[in-house]
Amino acid sequence: MFQDFRAAGPLPPHSQLVRSPYGTPEHPLEPKRRPRGAGAGIFGFALLLTAGIAVTAIGGEYLTAPAPDVMLRTGIAFSADGLALVPYDRAGSGGVLSELATDVNAVRLAAVDLATGETRWDVQLADELDWDAAAVAAGEEYAYIATADGLEIRDLDDGALVTEAGDVPGLEGAGTGTAAYGLDPEAGVVALGFDGGLRTLALDALEAAPADVAVAETWAGRLAAEGAAPQLGGMTTTEASIGEDATIRVEPTADGAVTSGLAVMDGGDRRALGTRTYTEAAIVLDQTVTTTTWDLDVDVDGLIDDLLNDPSAAEELMDDPTGSIDLTVPAGTAAGAASGHALVEHKRAPGGDDYALTVIDLADGTVTASIDTSDHVGRSMTAPGGQTVAIVAPADGLYQSDLLIVAADGSVDRAVFGAFDLLGDPDIE
């Protein structure tokens, strides 16, 4: 059967199904234009966002970075205008920028104003912690630093290097290491050469000369041409000199007691120094002069005659070798005595592990200051201006990282080291 599929009516009119983005010749379409600079704005925003994230991350790392480990070297020197030159080891991170700008592990040298406790400048000496360094002396213009490479000279204004180690005129062939250099009160810096000869460098001079006969005799055998001088620990005692005939001493409150009081012995007179008691107390000794020798007056011939005339004396001597010989030597000087004070180290509490360092007025026993520490006191010295400085470990620290400064009035300040800012520069403000 034939079937008719034609539409019943004509198709309705319809619109164009495919439209060109440019329109038709009769009705052209103009493409929409993006505002100029829009792409650059998005790119700039992305850069700004990235920089913000980077700054936040770096700043956060700087703020959360652990504090560096700092340990002071004991080769400290003083300048004529009241600076303490303190070499120290610094190990630790300070953030990405700080690590890029400076060495993480370094030996540094800081100049501390003893009148204010503030650090005037802080410079790097070496980029390795086992590098030998000590401040030997300083005048009004220059500081003299003994190093593993020899003696170098630095400007006291900012710590800038004036003469490198090995280049000081007159010190050709001089020793390397801190053991080759010392300070003579009259001649200045004394240096030992590998040839055994001694040279001297007057303070604020830039050229050395051969040592004269007197200096050569005084310093014979006291220096070594190479190697490091030993680091000095603190020294304490139960009795120390505070004047020509006077001493300060620790007296237990009872036999076998761990608590003690203080007393001053002046000639044959005794007076109690205050009423306060201390646990396991000891007097801190001044170590400005690092070597001390005593002449022991022993009558050897007389001792032999006594032994021959009294055979029993030989047995007594064997039982007590020092009993027949008076080995009494002059007491060391108490740290702080130059300004009328004494430094007393003691335990904070009976049976405890932590310490305190207390400053005592020698006139009446008044406590002028006291700080808590976590360990025994380190080297103590007297500056030309009368201040007493001592290396101490802070109460919350593991190392002897701070310099305690005791002023002439007995007040204390504490200089800290090793802080860097975000860019890796010493934070000394």
* Structure-token pair, residue 419: 């802080």
* Euclidean distance between CA atoms 230 and 181, whole angstroms: 13
Q: Is the Cβ–Cβ distance between 406 and 389 less than 8 Å?
A: yes
Q: Cβ-count burial of 16 within 10 angstroms (0-12 exposed, 13-18 middle, 19+ buried)?
A: exposed
**What's the mean per-residue pLDDT of the chain?**
83
* Euclidean distance between CA atoms 173 and 198, whole angstroms: 11
CA distances from 165 to 95, 114, 153, 190, 209 (A): 32, 27, 8, 15, 16
Q: Is the Cβ–Cβ distance between 86 and 139 less than 8 Å?
A: no
pTM (predicted TM-score): 0.76
Phi, psi of 64 (to 5 degrees): -100, -5
Rounded to a whole number of angstroms, the CA Rg of the chain reads: 37
Q: What average pLDDT does the segment 87-115 reach?
A: 78
Identify the CA nearest to 403 among candidates 47, 70, 19: 70
Q: What is the DSSP string of 337-354?
A: GGGTEEEEEEESSTT-S-
Identify the CA nearest to 221 among candidates 245, 244, 247, 190: 190
Tell me the three state secondary structure of residue 306: helix
Residues 402-424: tens digit of each pLDDT: 999 999 999 999 999 988 877 66
* Euclidean distance between CA atoms 342 and 229, whole angstroms: 28
Identify the CA nearest to 116 among candidates 358, 414, 425: 414
Tokens 């040279």 sit on residue: 199
Residues 213-249: tens digit of each pLDDT: 999 999 999 999 999 999 999 999 999 999 988 999 9
Phi, psi of 338 (to 5 degrees): -60, -25
Q: What is the DSSP string of 56-112?
A: HHHHHHHHHSPPPEEEE-S--EE-TTSEEEEEEEEE----HHHHHHS-SEEEEEEEE
pLDDT value at 61 more than 50: no
pLDDT value at 116 more than 90: yes
Instruction: Return the minimum-mean-pLDDT range out of 2-6, 110-114, 128-132, 405-409.
Output: 2-6
pLDDT value at 325 more than 60: no
Tokens 């001792």 sit on residue: 303
* Euclidean distance between CA atoms 310 and 304, whole angstroms: 10
Higher pLDDT, 351 or 392: 392
